[in-house]
């Protein structure tokens, strides 16, 4: 039952990705209808401080609940949406839906954690994310500190000034900004200096083989030290084992995210998860 359990879903889309008959490009023609028909859904993965046990936030992750293909991973359709320009509509929907959901959570009970939204560099170039965020917060009557933006880099940035200004403008209105998947792709050291984000998220590929793999261990501890020296927060993503968590804590990284703590959860399971955590 893919729809109701956030967790088991990954199995299904990994199989789809490996299937050469899976028609990636046909999906592009279905985007608009899918949005109108509410086929996109958000799941929310907790970020946990393993020192205190507190949930420090959740990250909104989009899925496509396709009528015939099942639950499709954003790893498949986000690149297609970027290519076709649909990312602007989808990105706006993700921000709006996230803010609607935060308001719903707040109306149902205490809810004081930050919700992170992924925004790709392409989106910043193609639309005014800052205005969109500002207007959506206003519409839902939410304070800016309930939102965080994670910037993911997948293409070479020719428009660094646009990104730099957007980050500064988001921070000016009280929204925190993270550099996602740090250490991979084009997310380089020079970004840290130029973009002045609040948080570095260490990519899962460096966490996977911890603590045995010496090279990864060296890179991860260096990034943690670097973050501290630059006065930035650091979050490790993709933590799947107790050993990985212990290694990270030992190096001074207490904020983590990963299947060991929780898979991305459907919206209705988030309050229960928060309650369970704060109750211990
Ligand atoms: P990301 O932002 O780096 O998100 C983390 C991804 O790693 C998620 O995959 C999450 O389910 C997965 N993950 C988390 N913990 C673990 C773990 O312990 N082990 C393993 N194996 N995986 C883990 P997901 O949801 O498939 O998202 C993939 C990527 O798609 C995201 O990577 C993000 O770059 C992009 N994405 C997702 N939602 C959006 C969105 O709304 N807008 C944009 N622009 N991109 C999005
Ligand atoms: Mg992210
Ligand atoms: Mg990431
Ligand atoms: Mg990632």
The interface pTM score, or ipTM, of the predicted complex is 0.98
pLDDT computed for residue 11 by the predictor = 46
Q: Which residue's alpha carbon is at the smallest distance from atom 4 of ligand 1?
A: 61
The ligand that comes nearest to the alpha carbon of residue 120 is 1
pLDDT at 22: 61
The reported pLDDT for the residue numbered 184 is: 83
Q: Indicate the pTM of the whole model.
A: 0.92
Q: Quick check: CB of 199 below 6 Å from ligand 1?
A: no
Q: Which atom of ligand 1 is nearest to the CA of 150?
A: 2
Does 133 contact ligand 1 (Cβ within 6 A)? no
Residue closest to 76 by CA, chosen among 38, 22, 35, 126: 22
pLDDT at 88: 94
Q: What spacing in Å lies between the alpha carbon of 118 and ligand 3's midpoint?
A: 9
Pocket test for ligand 1, best of 78, 80, 117 (most atoms within 8 A of CB): 78
pLDDT at 7: 46
Which pLDDT belongs to residue 193? 85
> Closest ligand 1 atom to the C-alpha of 180?
3
13, 70, 74: residue to mutate for ligand 1 pocket, most atoms within 8 A of CB: 74
Which ligand sits nearest to residue 74's alpha carbon?
1
The rounded average pLDDT for each run of 10 residues, N- to C-terminus, in the chain (280 residues) is 41 55 73 96 98 96 94 93 93 98 96 96 90 97 97 72 93 95 78 89 95 94 95 97 97 97 97 81
């Amino acid at each position: 039952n893919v729809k109701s359990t956030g967790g088991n879903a990954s199995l299904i889309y990994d199989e789809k990705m490996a299937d050469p008959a899976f028609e990636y490009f046909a999906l592009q023609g279905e985007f608009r209808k899918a949005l109108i028909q509410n086929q996109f859904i958000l799941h929310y993965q907790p970020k946990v401080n393993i020192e205190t046990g507190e949930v420090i936030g959740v990250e909104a992750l989009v899925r496509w609940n396709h009528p015939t293909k099942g639950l499709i991973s954003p790893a498949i359709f986000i690149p297609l949406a970027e290519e076709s320009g649909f990312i602007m509509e989808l990105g706006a929907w993700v921000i709006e839906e996230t803010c609607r959901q935060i308001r719903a959570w707040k109306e149902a009970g205490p809810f004081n954690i930050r919700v992170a939204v992924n925004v790709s560099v392409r989106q910043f170039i193609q639309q005014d994310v800052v205005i969109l965020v500002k207007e959506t917060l206003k519409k839902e009557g939410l304070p800016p500190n309930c939102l965080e933006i994670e910037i993911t880099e997948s293409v070479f940035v020719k428009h660094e000034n646009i990104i730099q200004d957007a980050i500064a403008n988001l921070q000016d209105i009280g929204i925190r900004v993270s550099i996602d998947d740090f250490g991979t792709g084009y997310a380089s050291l020079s970004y840290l200096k130029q973009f002045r984000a609040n948080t570095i998220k260490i990519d899962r590929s460096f966490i996977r083989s911890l603590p045995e793999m010496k090279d990864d261990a060296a890179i991860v501890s260096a990034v943690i030290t670097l973050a501290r020296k630059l006065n930035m927060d650091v979050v490790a993503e993709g933590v799947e084992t107790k050993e990985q968590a212990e290694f990270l804590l030992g190096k001074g990284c207490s904020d983590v995210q990963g299947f060991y703590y929780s898979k991305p959860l459907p919206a209705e399971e988030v309050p229960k998860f928060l309650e369970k955590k704060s109750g211990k």
